[in-house]
Structure 1
Amino acid sequence: MLFKLFLILVLAAAGVSAVDTAFNDDVLGLIVFKAGLQDPMGKLVTWNEDDETPCNWFGVKCNPKTNRVSELVLDGFSLSGHIGRGLLRLQFLQILSLANNNFTGTINSALSHLGNLQVIDLSDNSLSGPIPEQLFLQCGSIRVLSFARNNLIGNIPQSLTSCFSLELLNFSSNHLSGTLPSGLWYLRELQSLDLSDNLLEGQIPTGIQNLYDLRFVSLHKNRLSGKLPEDIGGCLLLKSLDFSENILSGGLPESMQMLSSCTYLNLRGNFLTGEVPRWIGELKNLDTLDLSANNFSGQLPSSIGNLQFLKKFNVSTNYLTRNLPESMENCNNLLSIDASHNRLTGNLPIWIFKAAMPSVPFSSYRLEENLSSPASFQGLQVLDLSSNIFSGHIPSNVGELGNLQLLNISRNHLVGSIPRSIGELKSAYALDFSDNQLSGSIPAEIGGAISLKELRLEKNFLTGEIPVKIGKCPLLTSLILSHNNLTGSIPAAVANLSNLVDVDLSFNKLSGSLPKELTNLSHLLSFNISHNHLEGELPVGGFFNAISPLSISHNPSLCGAVVNRSCPSVHPKPIVLNPNSSDANGNSPSHNHHHEIILSISSIIAIGAASFILLGVVAVTILNIRARSSQSRSAALVLSVREDFSCSPKTNSDYGKLVMFSGDAEFVVGAQALLNKDCELGRGGFGVVYKTVLRDGYLVAIKKLTVTSLIKSREDFESEVKKLGQIRHHNLVALEGYYWTTSLQLLIYEYVPNGSLYKHLHDRTGDNYCLSWRQRFKIVLGMAKGLAYLHHNNIIHYNLKSTNVLIDSSGKPKVGDYGLAMLLPMLDRCILSSKIQSALGYMAPEFACKTVTITEKCDVYGFGILVLEVVTGKRPVEYMEDDVIVLCDMVRVALDEGTVERCVDERLQLNFRVEEAIPVMKLGLICASQVPSNRPDMNEVVNILELIQSPSEVDEELE
């Protein structure tokens, strides 16, 4: 074995000059070939020099009669190295296919000694140098020859014309130069010829009609000149002809009308002249006709209507006049029409839109009307009639073209309004109506075009406001509405379009201030609002910190650093509660925290340290005055509540009424005796929670409600509690029952043993361990599913925070304390906010606005903050010695700076999935948007999270 291996290596170095009859030639040749390769995928590990035959090796096939190698097919295995001389030992090789690898070096002319070769495919490699002339000295048996997509140079060898058995020749996508060999047309067996994407020049020689069996010919993208071959019509079986992107001139040869089998004709990008001939309609099997970017003139012939199989029709960038022939309504298979950049006149071709009329039931037709009805163009996907001289109106039923993906009618003379049916184009990704004379407003129905990526309406006479429903086009990347007469403000809904890249609203009459949420548009490259009447402060952050002054010029009332104009005043910022502050008497924040206030963190970030101190003093002074006034009005209420909430067993000896939703039960001791410090699990805005055991041994958690004086009547209380008792979901803490007396109300929940999410994230003492990334993702997804279920049942949580999310023994999250606000007689904001003020940082901004309805979107905001808390391991608001950090702002800044992965909890180190963590944090920021309408609903959140989740984790959960 050692001797054999040594011999193989020597032969590889020496070029296999000797033959040892003790070895199988095929084994030896292939092992020598393998010795010069790199095989990163390990595909050739089965090749063993000790085997007597290679017939069972991967990629090798043998002739069953002779047991000699007949095929070597190693396509797409990332092999690299040179194509060595070891292959010369495979004297019976018929098929050599090494396509789609990384072979380098030159083509070895010695391959010509393999006289039995029928197929040579070396395409899609990195071969260089010229094609050896000697390669085709013995090529009589070669049927397929492909060197496509390499780096070959030089001329096409003249010797190639002696390969009389050649059926397929593909030298495309190289750097071959020179002229076409004069004897190329004598390869009479040739069926497919592809020399496209090279540097070939000169005229196409005559004689192509000799190729009787030619089906496919492509000379696309060369430097060929002169006229099209006059005898091209002799190739009667030709199905595909592509001479595009050359320097060909003259008209279309008459013989071409004989190509009745042709389905693909592409002459784009030449200098062809004259009119499109009438006989074009004789090519009745055409499905693609591309005559674009030439010098054709005159009117298109009506015979085009005979091309009933036509799918793609492109005559753009010529000098065509009149209009598209009405006979084209017979081409009812059309998917794409491009007649842009011509001199076409008249109204937009009505036959396109008339054919799009909605179908009428058969019974409504008279027979003769049904037979003569126009063909349907509802399958049309591309319609480009831009840069012509079309006039008139846009047909009102344009929306009937339901499959249209691109509609471009820009740079014409169209008038009238944009049809409302435009919103029915739900497949359209680009609409361009720019540079016309359109008037009226942008229809609100535009929001129905949900696939829209590009909307261009510039240079018209449009009036009215930018429709709010533009925010329902989530894929929009380009919004160009400049040079119109639009009025009103820029709707905040524009900030919903998170994919926006280019926005141009310049040269209009827009007014009002810019939505601050525009800073969330992380993909913006340009945002031009110049020459309007906009006012107020520019958004701060993200793209707007470096916006070009030209993009905001000629808005005299805009202010900010970029326009070098200070704003006249700073608007007061919202306030939030500081749980760490104490009152003048030194009371603990747990007793009087609803009376303490500081400026919001967004204010701290927005202004300097000096301004912060000054404004803080002013704000605290004013708000304390208000708080004292409010305190004086509610003092009696607070005192009576505290008296009623006494934990002393002497308060009430009545055990009251205990109701369990799943059967009868009793406390082991009296109700009041349960409520002592030893049993306490935690405290919240609505009450204190205790642990106890029922007489049947069932462990439960009991919440003693601390809102007795505010609670509804017994009947209303029991009605609301029973509704909550019907809620059952594996990510929600189940309400098992309740206890009622006039002075004491208890809610009985299932007991969840592993404590709160807050403890797992922030309590770093004792035996608490760090949650893994997989556990955190499951917690986020579980919380989302629980909230989605609540919202499905029309229940708003109101008090979402990490202390109200419990973790069971299997690590599953359970959301608790939901719906308790419904027990109050009315959702008074002052009472409600005082009860959930411990949810600092989780409260949606609309809680501070009396005119905004509290909806499920408040829960979505709190969920977004919770998501960031779970991923980062940081509290929503953290008070440092010299600073206050708002988690949401911290993550958003990191996202803008491209360092968001650094926000992941440092305890995870590198043990988390970046491809999951970053999208999850982005989702958290979206949920925590300042504008409620920008937040998704919880069902959408669940769907997004399931898409983010790694497939491996999904598989593990299914097992």
Structure 2
Amino acid sequence: MKNYLGFGFGFLQSLLCFLVSFSCLLLTCLGDNIGVNVQLNDDVLGLIVFKSDLHDPSSYLASWSEDDMNPCSWQFIQCNPVNGRVSEVSLNGLGLSGKIGRGLEKLTHLKVLSLSHNNLTGTISPQLALSTSLERLNLSHNSFSGPIPTSLVNMSSMRFLDLSENSFSGTVPDNFFENCASLHYLSLARNMFEGPIPSSISRCFSLNSLNLSDNRFAGNVDFNGIWSLGRLRSLDLSNNALSGYLPNGISAIHNLKEMLLENNHFSGPLPSDIGLCLHLNRLDFGYNQFTEALPESLSRLNSLTYLRASNNLFSSEFPQWIANMTSLEYLELSNNQFFGSIPFSIGKLRSLSYLSLSNNKLVGSIPMSLVSCTKLSVIRLRGNGFTGSIPEGLFGLGLEEIDLSHNELTGPIPAASSRIFETLSRLDLSENHLKGNIPAEMGLVSKLKYLNLSWNDLQSPMPPELGLLQNLEVLDLRNSALHGSIPDEICDSGSLAILQLDGNFLTGSIPQEIGNCTSLYLLSLCHNNLTGTVPKSLSKLNKLKILKLEFNGLTGELPQELGMLQNLLAVNISYNRLTGRLPAGSIFPNLDKSSLEGNLGLCSRLLEGPCKMNVPKPLVLDPNAYKNQMGPHRQRNETSMPSSIHRHRFLSVSAIVAISAAFVIILGVIAISLLNISVRRRLAFVDNALESMCSSSSRSGCLPTGKLILFDSNSSAEWISNPESLLNKASEIGEGVFGTVYKVSLGSQDRVVAVKKLVNSNMIQHPEDFDREVRILGKARHQNLIALKGYYWTPQTQLLVTEYAPNGSLQSKLHDRLPSSPPLSWANRFKILLGTAKGLAHLHHSFRPPIIHYDIKPSNILLDENFNPKICDFGLARLLIKLDRHVMSNRFQSALGYVAPELACQSLRVNEKCDIYGFGVMILELVTGRRPVEYGEDNVLILNDHVRVLLEQGNVLDCVDPSMGEYPEDEILPVLKLAMVCTSQIPSSRPTMSEVVQILQVIKTPVPLRMEMF
């Protein structure tokens, strides 16, 4: 019995243990399943919270529902098939706006997060803790701002990081790259990062691509650390303010394929071992301060296709070995100091398509062997000392652009071949010694847009075939000894915008067909032997801005119809034989004496001597004539009348004539007034009809009105129904000639912008035209230009939305500074000068036609938080229907001392040189701390003249602003000399803005180089 009891008890014990073990196993399995459900719900929760911070105008995220158990079926979501967790979120280019919230922290297994090409804004919280397993993060092409997210520092698994094309700012922490061992791709391009590049970048030893371009990084670069990145294939540091030398050791980067360093302040020689990076195919050193010669080791780079070293200080004989680089397709060495001749062996570069050696000191003839470069499409040899004739075979290639100007070339213009007829778009042979006829076959070059043969000795008539050039926009034949008459066919194409025939021996009259040049905005026929009258057909040129007819033999009266040309800015008709009245409208009533003198028959209060009116002779009453027709008896009777009766009768007839004339004039005034009223009513009816069509027809092409248009967004901010309501007196931060500026927050404090409310008078009144012009200005992007972000348009109100500069204007820091605010240091002043020069150079040289500012002065130079300058109000005159006299006169009054002398004296002639004059005055203002014109009790101080006198006396340092403390004399002196050159009374003596930038950069180089320059 005991045995049975013992056996039973043992059996029950074993059974109980089995049941307990089974229960534990079951609970474990159930627990795992419950945990999976909880985790999947976390992914759903995280994504729904993330979505709640977004605006999705196209409902791309409609499939994201909080009722789902897991998000793996949602659009743009991918899950790991093993554990069912979200591993990838890709929302590229969906037009999303909003911000990144902390919902993404729930995605603990996330490996890829890609949100590029949206309009996400705001700062990224430093507390945002994304998954530590994240391998790929792409936030590029958005509008994120603020500092770089420090939470990314701990992402040791990151392989791909792209934050480019945003508005991130501030410095990159030195420890940011502490855990970057896995990083293969890094791009911070096109942001506003500043300060030095962290030295910890050298720890990213797996890096293949490094792009820090288009920021504000400054200071010396630790290239020894970068050279240690042996796996690097692409290095882009372009468009920053970096400096320092490039040491040897670059050969350690065996796999390097491209190195882009353009537009910085690097100096010294290039590394001599650069030719040992045998895989290099793209090198760009342009716009720096590199010196000495190009390393000969470059000749070993058999894979190199792109080499740019322009705008540096290279000084050596032109490298003969460059002909060995047979893979070259693009060679740009312009704006250096290379000397000697181009080797004949350059013809070996059979792959070459672009060749630019402009503005060096090269001599000799242009090698005939260039004809062997059959792929050549652009050749620029401008500004050298080349002699001899132009190789004939050169015009047999399929070239798109030829620029051989400013040399010493002789001989004829080669005849063009059938191949170049189809390709050539730009030909500039100006300022040489070419002779002979202009080839008639030039009229067959169907794509030609720019033709400049000026300042030669052609001694040729103008071929009528030039009228066949349907795409020709610029024809410049000045001072080329042309003779004969202006061909009637010259305007057959209708696309000509600039026609300059000055300084020739042209005879005959201005053809009536000139009215067919409806695209002309510059017509210059001065200094010829033209005769006859000015044709009425000129009044058809509604786009005409500049008309130069001086020093000819033109006769007769100017057609009154020219007064309808409302876009005219400058007219010169001096030294002709013109007579009679000036046109009553347009710019003619305001022409100055220099534009009219030399015409003794013109009627103007500015001219001395009598004028000749081409009007019918007035009625002359001769009292004796009536008497002579009477018989003796009637004469005797009238003789016996009192003399007072005779006087009374004569005065009565005169009074009748005067009253009749007055009555006719009154009737004319009434008729014109009625006509004006009728025209206004018709125009108002048309405007109302167009506005009604825009608002009522959904199929019309009209742009939306009364809506805020933002360029950096795929969708407009419709939630701001009335941006005008954001503008109030409290938010006003400035006022200028073109309007009032307000500080406005769009939606949140994270997005602060400046809004300029334009003066409504004379602004473009059609939304399509306004949109087109504003978008052109919006494309003028540069780190030293205030970015135009959008606009708001109604017929009554036009607003421009621009970037906000927190440090205000240079005017406020220089002249309106509070006693508690520190003065500007010389380092900041120099930074402002250089940045402003770069911004202006971008406007002048990156656009055709160039964008001219019109009004350079401290109030139009804004400063960001680091005192980097940003030019504002550029190109606003494009938004005017015409340059209103009231606006321009206000501009002259507000810019006293900044206006170039040619503007004040010659009918508002505007070109890039006017901006350079204003920049020169601004230099003086920054150095001296004084205003350009100061009024004392007994005298007026003109700053320009004051500094010039002190400079001549050797006491120029006496005028330096004492408030800025210590300053380097060896920088102040050349800067002041540059100001004197910029403010020259002769416009042609002033440098270009690109030259100003280069000079300012040279001023920062060692003293021997600087003294050599000045």
* Cα displacement string for residues 586-607 of structure 1 (whole angstroms, at most 9, x for unaligned residues): xxxxxxxxxxxxxxxxxxxxxx
Question: What letter is aligned with 2:443?
Answer: G
1:498 maps to what in 2? 518
Aligned to 1:449: 469
Structure 1 459/374 Cα, relative in aligned 2: closer, same or farther at 3 Å? closer
Kindly indicate whether residue 446 of structure 2 is the aligned counterpart of residue 420 of structure 1: no
Q: Is the 8 A contact 2:512 2:535 kept in 1?
A: yes
Q: Is 1:185 aligned with 2:197?
A: no
Equivalent residue, structure 2, for 1:483: 503
Read off the aligned partner of 1:469 and give its amino acid letter.
E
The residue matched to 1:109 in structure 2 has which SS?
Answer: coil
After superposition, where does 1:727-806 map in structure 2 within 5 Å? none
Which of 374, 399, 403 is residue 380 of structure 1 equivalent to? 399
On the 8 A contact 2:549/2:572 being kept in 1, the answer is yes
Structure 2 gap segments, 5+ residues each = 1-35, 377-391, 589-595, 597-601, 604-610, 617-659, 704-764, 770-1014
Superimposed CA distance per residue, residues 352-394 of structure 1 (whole angstroms, 9 cap, x where no aligned partner) = 4687899xxxxxxxxxxxxxx9999734323333344444443
Residues 405 and 613 (structure 1), Cα distance of their counterparts in 2 relative to 1, 3 Å cut = same
- Quickly say closer, same or farther: Cα 1:61–1:270, change in 2 above 3 A: same
Task: Mark the CA change 1:262 to 1:909 in structure 2 (over 3 Å): closer, same or farther.
Answer: closer
| 1:90 maps to 2:107 | yes
**The one of 225, 229, 238 aligned to 1:220:** 238
How far apart in 2 are the matches of 1:356 and 1:399? 15
CA distance in 2, matches of 1:159, 1:215: 22
Does residue 1:534 correspond to 2:529, yes or no? no
CA contact (8 A) 2:258 2:281 kept: yes
Tell me the distance in 1 between the aligned counterparts of 2:229 and 2:375.
47
| Structure 1 gaps, min length 5 | 1-18, 359-372, 572-608, 618-880, 923-959
1:440 corresponds to 2:460: yes
Q: Residues 421 and 185 from structure 1, CA distance in 2 versus in 1: closer, same or farther, beyond 3 angstroms?
A: farther
Please give the secondary structure, in 2, of the residue aligned with 1:159: coil
Partner of 2:281: 263
Corresponding residue SS for 1:160: coil
What's the CA shift for 1:216? 1.5
In structure 2, the residue matched to 1:27 is 44
The one-character-per-residue Cα deviations of 1:391-439 (angstroms, maximum 9, x if unpaired) are 4443333775342222333344444443334333322322233344443
Equivalence map 1:221-300=2 (5 Å): 221-300=239-318
Per-residue deviation, 1:244: 0.6
What TM-score, normalized to structure 2?
0.52
Matched residue type, 1:58: Q
2:424 corresponding residue in structure 1: 404
The answer to whether residue 119 in structure 2 is matched with residue 119 in structure 1 is no
Provide the residue aligned with 1:58 in structure 2.
75
- Provide the rounded CA distance (Å) in 1 between the counterparts of 2:60 and 2:310: 47
Query: What is the CA distance between 1:30 and its match in structure 2?
Result: 1.1
Residue 167 in structure 1 maps to residue 184 in structure 2: yes
Aligned AA for 1:261? H
Q: Is the 8 A contact 1:262 1:283 kept in 2?
A: yes
Superposition deviation, residue 195 in structure 1: 0.6
| Alpha-carbon distance in structure 2 between the residues aligned to 1:414 and 1:152 | 54
Deviations 1:83-138 (A, max 9, x none): 10011111111111111222222223344441121111111222222114342123
* Counterpart secondary structure, 1:329: helix
Residue by residue, what CA displacement relative to the aligned partner does 1:632-654 show, whole Å, maximum 9, x if unpaired?
xxxxxxxxxxxxxxxxxxxxxxx
Given the superposition, is the C-alpha separation of residues 332 and 33 from structure 1 closer, same or farther in structure 2, using an over 3 Å criterion? same
Cα shift readout 1:46-76 (whole Å, capped 9, x = no counterpart): 2221122222323222223333222212222
Q: How far does residue 196 in structure 1 lie from its aligned partner after superposition? A: 0.8
Question: Cα–Cα, structure 1 residues 486 and 151, in superposed 2: closer, same or farther, change >3 Å?
Answer: farther
Compared CA separation, residues 153 and 424, structure 1 to 2 (3 A): farther
Query: Percent identity of the aligned residues?
Result: 33
- Code of the residue aligned with 2:476 in structure 1: it is R
Q: Once the two structures are superposed, what CA deviation does each residue of 1:557-613 show, in whole Å capped at 9, x if it has no partner? A: 165233663874369xxxxxxxxxxxxxxxxxxxxxxxxxxxxxxxxxxxxx97997
1:329 pairs with 2:374: no
Q: Is the 8 A contact 1:323 1:344 kept in 2?
A: yes
Going from structure 1 to structure 2, the CA distance change for 1:884 and 1:197 (only over 3 Å counts) comes to closer
2:505 match: secondary structure: coil
State how far apart, in whole Å, the 2-side matches of 1:510 and 1:323 are: 44
Q: Distance in 1 between matches of 2:208 and 2:419?
A: 43
Aligned residue type for 1:554: Y
Structure 1 letter corresponding to 2:614: S
User: Which amino acid letter does the alignment assign opposite residue 544 of structure 1?
Assistant: L
Aligned-pair CA distance for 1:230: 1.9
Q: Distance in 1 between matches of 2:283 and 2:443?
A: 36
CA deviation vs aligned residue, 1:201-245 (integer Å, no higher than 9, x gap): 222321433333322211111112222242223323222221111
Code of the aligned partner of 2:526: S
Query: What are the Cα deviations for residues 457-501 of structure 1, in whole angstroms up to 9, with x where unaligned?
Result: 334333333333332333332223323333333333333233223
Preserved contact between residue 184 and residue 207 of structure 2 (Cα < 8 Å): yes
Candidates 557, 562, 566, aligned match of 2:578: 557
Q: Which residue is 2:894 aligned to?
A: none
1:503–1:527: 8 Å Cα contact kept in structure 2? yes
- CA drift at 1:267: 1.0
Given that residues 395 and 417 in structure 2 are in contact (C-alpha distance below 8 angstroms), is that contact kept between their aligned partners in structure 1?
Answer: no
Tell me if 1:569 matches 2:614: yes
Which amino acid in structure 1 is aligned with residue 216 of structure 2? L
How far is 1:171 from its partner? 0.6
Paired residues of 1:154 and 1:178 also in contact (CA < 8 A): yes
C-alpha distance 177-416 of structure 1, shift in aligned 2 (>3 A):
same
Amino acid of the structure 2 residue aligned with 1:272: F
Do the aligned partners of 2:177 and 2:204 also contact (CA within 8 Å) in 1? no
The 5 A counterparts of 1:640-655 are none
SS of the equivalent of 1:220 reads coil
* Matched residue type, 2:350: N
Q: Is the 8 A contact 2:543 2:567 kept in 1?
A: no
Amino acid of the structure 1 residue aligned with 2:535: P
> What amino acid maps onto 2:301 in structure 1?
L
State whether residues 265 and 289 of structure 2, in contact with CA within 8 Å, keep that contact through their aligned partners in structure 1. Answer: yes
What are the within-5 Å matches in structure 2 for residues 357-372 of structure 1? none
The Cα offsets for residues 733-789 of structure 1, whole Å up to 9 and x where unpaired, read as: xxxxxxxxxxxxxxxxxxxxxxxxxxxxxxxxxxxxxxxxxxxxxxxxxxxxxxxxx
> Which amino acid letter does the alignment assign opposite residue 381 of structure 1?
E
Counterpart-to-counterpart distance in 2, 1:338 and 1:505: 33
Aligned equivalent of 1:515, options 523, 535, 558: 535
Q: Could you tell me the TM-score, scaled by structure 1's length?
A: 0.55
Amino acid of the residue matched to residue 167 of structure 1?
A: H
CA contact (8 A) 1:237 1:261 kept: yes
Q: Which whole-Å CA distance do the structure 2 matches of 1:567 and 1:47 have between them?
A: 85
Q: Deviations over 1:517-544 (max 9, x none)?
A: 3333333332322333333443525763
Contact 2:148–2:168 (CA under 8 A) maintained in structure 1: no
Distance 1:136 1:350, change over 3 A: same
SS of the aligned residue for 1:273 comes to strand
Supply the distance in 2 between the matched residues of 1:257 and 1:336 (Cα, whole angstroms).
Answer: 22
CA contact (8 A) 1:345 1:391 kept: no
Root-mean-square deviation (Å) = 4.3
- SS at 1:224 equivalent: strand
Q: Distance in 1 between matches of 2:188 and 2:375?
A: 48
Question: For the Cα contact (< 8 Å) 1:464–1:487, is it kept in 2?
Answer: yes
Q: Matched residues in 2 for 1:909 and 1:351: separation?
A: 61
- 8 Å contact 2:228–2:253 — kept in the other structure? yes
Distance change in 2, residues 1:224/1:356 (3 Å):
closer
Q: Secondary structure at the match of 1:495?
A: helix
From 337, 353, 357, the equivalent of 1:319 is 337
